[in-house]
Chains A and B, each alone.
Chain A
Amino acid sequence: MAKRIETVDLSCYYGSMQAVEGVSLTVEPKSVTAFIGPSGCGKSTFLRALNRMHEVIPNARIEGTVLLDDEDIYGPGIEAAAVRRTIGMVFQKPNPFPTMSIYDNVAAGLKLNGIRKKSELDGAVERSLRGANLWDEVKSRLNKPGMGLSGGQQQRLCIARAIAVEPQVLLMDEPCSALDPISTLAIEDLINELKDRYTIVIVTHNMQQAARVSDVTAFFTLKGPGEPGRLIEVDATQKIFTNPSEKRTEDYITGRFG
């Protein structure tokens, strides 16, 4: 079920501006990989290149290769929509569909991809909401608007929506940065549970969070403003936070960055 992602010499561009340069990285299945690094170093850009969301932005393009279990997701004949169904994404700001109920939000991915059978949808909605630890809180009001939930609940709703289409990989871009500490804890617990079934990549600004939830940590940085971001070091989280091999990683983690 969970799959491995491997990038080979991946560079990302916005028009003529290069945002990420030459990243080669492997994300192992059923593990949590955290991306850390200063703002603007290209973490989000790189993450979005992993499920072809990067190309949604006008003039954005990539060079290099992204392999999903040895299959090139940018290869000829590969459909971006199919890639995104396999590699789901949760965004920084919770973004439930405002015109839809809680139920419809979770079912959206299935419905919009042509699944209509009520029993199938019902099952998927319950399974996904349970998977996102939200079922008990919303089961009595599935037909209420998704926007009526609290921020933390909305984010878990978005996670439920993402796992409803049964992806193999889940990309999360700072999923807790708009949330309070309690909701953050709920999401972190959830990530711990989800990693039994999914390959998870999480971008975070919170060093403690990276240390708490991830197995592997990748540190990105950039030389200066206008320079592309680079991968500096990737290793077991334990090692990155206690004994990194790179001086720059140590400086960043201990707060001596800049």
Chain B
Amino acid sequence: MTIADSTQSLRRQSLRQASIPRAGVAVLIAGSIGLAFVLFAVTPLQGDADFVVVAALLSVVILVAASWTVEGRRRAIDRFATSATMLALILTLLPLGFVLGYVIKRGAKDFNINFLTHSLAGIGPLDAGGGVYHAIIGTFEQVLIASFISVPLGLMVAIFITEYSRSSLATAVRFLVDVMTGIPSIVAGLFVLSFWILALNQPYTGFAAAMALAILELPIIVRTSEEMIRLVPAALREAAYALGVPKWKTILRVVLPTATTGITTGVMLAMARVIGETAPVFLVAGNNFFINNDPLHGQQASLATFIFINARASSDLQVDRAWAAALTLILIVAVLYVSARLLTRRNALARR
């Protein structure tokens, strides 16, 4: 028998191997769910979550058992591994789906253009109407100022780590930045409170909140920019050096532009990360029911503090407003994340 013949017969063999078709799998899973229904009807078992768990376990057991008898041991193990990972995936996505679904369901009630364009000025706990305009302004100003502080600083640290420092110093700085990543957000707020407001005797303002957020953004920006700058091929730097371009200009005009999309993505993710911070912001910016466009004077609301204060209020009207504000915040974060993803996709370096 030639080699060609033997591969031929191998192929024919594998073609003939018994397997459960897709439709069969669907029927088995549907049957498992049906069986779960019956179980919940006749036994003391009850509860929605319990039902999901029992149905899922039944599906796996029945599918693997059927596979073992029909398809053999190897395929049965394969089926088991596949369904186990699928289950893990579903378990991970379920909470996310529930959170999103619930926020949308509760938040949709008050969420409208009026809500987005009005403040709480003159709206009492028992009045309907009012909105989050003042909080949106506060959130945007605080996060933008925080980024204006932390982006240049973070970029410079990243450039220092990647381009200038000797390796031991770079390791030390990178370690410190990692430690900074672990700073609890309330500690950042406390730091600004004790240092800026109490020791230096500055007022409670949106700017103070921005400083706390900047502390939280800084390590994220350093690490993402560092990665992005590292992705810039050495060949590009060498090309610039070979043209007689000094190092600092090479970094500024060749390295950074090449890494821009990646760095921008990192900045957006850092913003998305801190936009929902509540404790440090509440601590040093206080709250305001009126529109305060000035981050340097007077207390300022933010979406997070708005949610925090209204959610624990006694009136249902206020709780509804908190949900609508939560929906607003989630939408803003979603826009940030999606833009970051789109930018990443355009980033030629990350694709390589």
Contacts and interface: CB of A to CB of B under 8 A. Distances in A.
Interface of A: 51, 53, 56, 81-86, 88-89, 91, 93, 95-99, 108-109, 112-113, 147, 158, 161-162, 165
Contacts of B237: 56
B243 A91 contact: no
16 contacts: A56-B237, A81-B245, A83-B244, A84-B241, A84-B243, A91-B242, A96-B239, A108-B240, A108-B243, A109-B244, A109-B245, A112-B249, A112-B250, A113-B243, A158-B239, A161-B239
Contacts of B233: 95
B99 interface: no
B305 interface: no
Contact of B244 (A99, A147, A165): A165
A162 B243 CA distance: 7
Contacts of A89: 242
A81 B246 contact: yes
Interface string B220-257: 00000000000001011111111111100110011001
Nearest to A93: B235
Contacts of A158: 239
Given A82-B244, A161-B243, A165-B243, A112 B238 contact: no
Interface of B: 233, 235-246, 249-250, 253-254, 257-258, 260, 348
B243 A97 contact: no
Contacts of A161: 239, 243
A97 B239 contact: yes
Contacts of B249: 112
A25 to B, nearest CB: 21
Contacts of B240: 97, 108, 112
Among A53, A91, A112, A162, max chain B CB count under 10 A is at A112
Contacts of B257: 99
A56 B238 contact: yes
B258 A98 contact: yes
A21 B253 CA distance: 37
Contacts of B348: 98, 147
Contacts of A82: 244
A112 B253 contact: yes
A85 B239 contact: no
Contact of A84 (B235, B236, B242, B254): B242
A109 B253 CA distance: 11
B241 A56 contact: yes
Given A99-B260, A112-B243, 5 more contacts: A97-B240, A98-B348, A108-B243, A112-B245, A165-B243
B247 to A, nearest CB: 9
Given A112-B249, A112-B253, A98 B236 contact: yes
Contact of B235 (A91, A99, A113): A91
A54 to B, nearest CB: 11
Contacts of B236: 95, 97-98
A233 to B, nearest CB: 28
Contact of B242 (A93, A98, A162): A162
B239 A95 contact: yes
A81 B258 contact: no
A240 B257 CA distance: 47
B279 to A, nearest CB: 41
A167 B253 CA distance: 22
B163 to A, nearest CB: 11
Contact of A88 (B242, B246, B250, B254): B242
A97 B238 contact: no
Contacts of A147: 348
A108 B245 CA distance: 9
Given A81-B246, A112-B253, A95 B241 contact: no
Contacts of A91: 235, 238-239, 242
9 shortest A-B CB distances, which residue pairs?
Answer: A85-B244, A109-B243, A89-B242, A95-B235, A84-B244, A112-B245, A99-B257, A81-B244, A95-B239
Among A98, A147, A161, max chain B CB count under 10 A is at A98
Contacts of B242: 51, 53, 84, 88-89, 91, 162
A56 B234 CA distance: 10
A26 to B, nearest CB: 23
Among B244, B250, B258, max chain A CB count under 10 A is at B244
Contact of A53 (B241, B245, B250): B241
A99 B256 CA distance: 10
Nearest to A85: B244
Among B239, B240, B246, B249, max chain A CB count under 10 A is at B239
Contacts of B238: 53, 56, 91, 95
A165 B244 CA distance: 9
B235 A88 contact: no
A96 B250 CA distance: 14
Contacts of A162: 242-243
A35 B250 CA distance: 29
B239 A88 contact: no
Contacts of A81: 241, 244-246
A85 B244 CA distance: 5
A84 B249 CA distance: 15
Contacts of B245: 81, 108-109, 112-113
A95 B240 CA distance: 10
B285 to A, nearest CB: 39
Among A53, A81, A96, max chain B CB count under 10 A is at A81
Contacts of A53: 238, 241-242
